[in-house]
Chains A and B, each alone.
Chain A
């Protein structure tokens, strides 16, 4: 299956700093990637849809100025948590589908996730 790589797997940062998480599709091109947030023992919450070459689409209630998404190439999307606070501590996961030419008909592949801890 297709491979999605996410980096870093763990990061600890101080309150007020910004953290960047990368999501790469290693063996396919993804015009669309998805960013999820997962709280302990809870399901995945879709935060935003990342679109290559255009602005991301954010879900209701997600602060776009807080969670900056950039999808500058067909294989890379980044999520930057700006001015991080302890309540931003969570598990962040990205995903993409391959091939994009069959929308809805194929499974999504997920990165390994990033555990963010803000102290």
Chain B
């Protein structure tokens, strides 16, 4: 069985400061890893993914994430947060071993304040 853990329900950061949203995963075989963002009463928007290759992945809106196989982590980062980044962020994993199921973490509410 595959699973995703997002240990922080909420992350608060001041605008202009760097932000990190944590994610760890468990999967059989190699993982496909994804980050999505959700604004209130909206569907999920894709931010970035790790499939293979460089461990540092760059995505939309200045976000990036680092795949760390030994720590089974895929933390989301941004060097300088904006108030408009405030939203709900989901980490997700799919096994390369087959199957279509995408397993989500519980989500982390990011709040960026002036």
Whether B105 lies near A43 (C-beta < 8 A) is: yes
> In the complex, which residues of chain B have a beta carbon less than 8 angstroms from the beta carbon of A105?
32, 51
Task: Tell me whether B49 and A104 are in contact (CB under 8 A).
Answer: no
- Kindly name the residue among B95, B101, B102 whose own CB sees the greatest number of chain A CB atoms within 10 A: B102
B34 interfacial by beta-carbon distance below 8 Å: yes
Tell whether B99 is near chain A: CB-to-CB under 8 Å: yes
Interface size on A, residues (CB 8 A): 27
Q: Is the interface of A mostly helix, strand, loop or mixed?
A: strand
- With beta carbons under 8 angstroms apart, the residue of A34, A43, A107, A113 that contacts B46 is A107
Mark contacts of B75-114 with chain A using CB atoms, 8 A cut-off: 1 yes-contact digit, 0 otherwise. 0000000000000001000111011111011110100000
**Distance in Å from the Cβ of A104 to the closest Cβ of chain B?**
5
- Would you call A1 an interface residue if the criterion is a C-beta within 8 Å of the partner chain's C-beta atoms? yes
The interface residues of chain A lying within 8 Å CB-to-CB of B95 are: 104
B41 contacts the other chain (CB 8 A): yes
- Provide a sorted-by-A list of 7 A–B residue pairs whose CB atoms are within 8 angstroms: A4-B43, A32-B100, A34-B100, A41-B109, A95-B43, A107-B34, A108-B102
